[in-house]
Structure 1
Amino acid sequence: MGLAAAHPVRWHDVRVNTYRLIAALGSSFAAGPGIEPIEEAAAMRSSRNYAHQLTTLLGAELVDLTVSGATTANVLDTPQQFSEQLVFPPQADGVPADADVVTITAGGNDLQFAGAMLYTAWLSADPSSPLVPMLGAMFSGGIPFPTEEAVEQATAGLVRVIEKVHTRAPDARILLVDYLTVLDDESVTATPFTAGELAQFLVIQNAIGRVFETAADRTVAELVRASALSVDHALGSAEPWVQPFHQDMMTTAGSFHPNEAGMTAIALELQRVLEA
């Protein structure tokens, strides 16, 4: 009795980490293009993206299936083909049945958010760049407006991803991590965009937020609002959590994507959610 009183046992002394295996799905906002070191060059996947940092914080193992450029279809059931030799299988097919946590960040490419920003930036900064006609083939109509039909299609795609993940790993917590805030009303000074173009991109950014909110409402996924977490860290802020436009062919893919500080902030928020 005296020994027990002298050495009280506290919960944090005996707590066992129940999150042993994490799987990460998603596009570039999960993969981390432009953040060194790069783990998988073809996928533009960083070993400092939020999933990698989270597994380090939790002492867990990671199956990182994220690929830059992925749509919800690529995560769900459609291979992502870059060339005849380079094909990434549907990401959800790789989710282990015994995963404890699955993170998902996808849907922005369904609304062409990052691609449209990159094209518009290059068109403004260097119209003679070979990237302009290459990217312009996808944006012949200019910056795409997120119609209600397009938003619903992106939402439905994300819902199907969540449902498939839940079927494959029924005991996993599914964390739906939305996009970091890239732009706000003050970002015009920190981007190559005109005020009108910025306004159009803010409409797409808001639509992406709606996609995540609705998908979470329709499924078992838990919404983690990276957008709210980063509302004071858009481009043009004192401490942006996203990369600026890189006018360099070798690094331009990281433009308008999370930087390492942004990925760290998400990882810490996910740790807080999981350990709450």
Structure 2
Amino acid sequence: MTRYVALGSSMAAGPGIPPTAPGSPLLAMRSQRNYPHLVAQRLGLDLVDVTYSGATTAHVLGESQHGEPPQVDALDGSESLVTVTIGGNDVGYVPMLCAAALPAPLRWLPPLRGMRDAGARERELAAVAPKLIEVGRVVRARAPLARVLFVDYLTLLPPQGSAPPLSAGDTDLGRRIAAELERLTAAAAEGTGAAVVCAGQASREHHPWSAQPWTNLPSRFPVPIPGHTAPLHPNAEGMRAVANLVVAHVEERPGT
């Protein structure tokens, strides 16, 4: 079996990394050089990439996204590998950081201030835990012969210190969200018989403010610019690094 299905959000899709995957929906912002494509090339697998920017666990499990079917519908039971990168959009992780990077007058507008509300983020983190478990459960049921790998998010903030233009409070909240997402992703994998690829842990020294970043700095005016990788998302080097981690897991841990 050589079928590989990639599920997930923009952290797997690779918005702005050229070239765009042929035939992919415009709003998916799916790169031909995202980690699923690189993994498939390295391992000689037949890729079905349904990653989609902005996806939540609901879009993986049962909701249409911009007219596309739920991502799990791509599974037909013949898969040898399934990767899943999801959860951040459920808790507003990157939107929170993007709002925090805006100039001060904009940060305090009511909708944007709400994105930076610690209480709301904590409630959403609590709510996403069972959703991640359900993703693992459904994927395992639909692809019973596959190796299922949850791939968590690359590090988006320095482990310590400042992250200009973010305030200290927003930076601390972002770190809290990231740490809890990593924990919940690992728990969902363990609880459903899947495995986890720890991209966050592997990229601690490759945050956007580092000398060799695997993800991009925030923008003071974070609007999509054609031909440019998205702020606070993986760059091409980051996607190669994640692909290396996935390939290493597959080759070094047969059957897990």
Q: TM-score, normalised by structure 2?
A: 0.88
Counterpart among 233, 238, 244 of residue 257 in structure 1: 233
Question: How much has 1:245 moved relative to structure 2?
Answer: 2.1
What residue in structure 2 maps to residue 271 of structure 1?
A: 247
The one-letter amino acid paired with 1:79 is S
Q: What does 1:9-28 correspond to in 2, within 5 Å?
A: 20-28=2-10
What residue in structure 2 maps to residue 211 of structure 1?
A: 184
What residue in structure 1 maps to residue 167 of structure 2?
A: 194
What residue in structure 2 maps to residue 97 of structure 1?
A: 77
Gaps (5+ residues) in structure 1? 1-17, 81-85
What residue in structure 1 maps to residue 89 of structure 2?
A: 109
- In our comparison, the structure showing a higher alpha carbon Rg is 1
- Where in structure 1 do 4 or more consecutive aligned residues deviate above 6 Å? none
- Is the deviation greater in 210-219 or in 150-159? 150-159
Q: For the Cα contact (< 8 Å) 1:45–1:68, is it kept in 2?
A: yes
Q: Does 1:127 align with 2:103?
A: no
The one-letter amino acid paired with 1:66 is T
Q: What does 1:1-276 correspond to in 2, within 5 Å?
A: 20-39=2-21, 40=24, 41-80=26-65, 86-124=66-104, 127=106, 137=111, 139-140=113-114, 142-145=116-119, 146-147=121-122, 149-186=123-160, 188-189=162-163, 191-246=164-219, 247=221, 249-251=223-225, 254-276=230-252
1:156-213 CA deviation, whole Å, 9 max, x = no partner? 1111111111111110000010111111245635x42112211111111111112112
Q: For the Cα contact (< 8 Å) 2:84–2:151, is it kept in 1?
A: yes
Q: Assess, with a 3 A threshold, how the Cα gap between structure 1 residues 241 and 187 changes in structure 2: closer, same or farther.
A: farther
Q: TM-score, normalised by structure 1?
A: 0.82
Equivalents in 1 of 2:99, 2:67: separation in Å? 24
The one-letter amino acid paired with 1:95 is L
Question: How much has 1:267 moved relative to structure 2?
Answer: 0.6
Equivalents in 2 of 1:141, 1:25: separation in Å? 25
Q: For the Cα contact (< 8 Å) 2:50–2:71, is it kept in 1?
A: yes
Partner SS state of residue 102, structure 1? strand
Question: How much has 1:138 moved relative to structure 2?
Answer: 6.4
Q: For the Cα contact (< 8 Å) 2:216–2:229, is it kept in 1?
A: no
1:240-276 CA deviation, whole Å, 9 max, x = no partner? 1101124463338711011111110111111111112
Q: For the Cα contact (< 8 Å) 1:23–1:96, is it kept in 2?
A: no
Equivalents in 2 of 1:249, 1:141: separation in Å? 17
Gaps (5+ residues) in structure 2? none
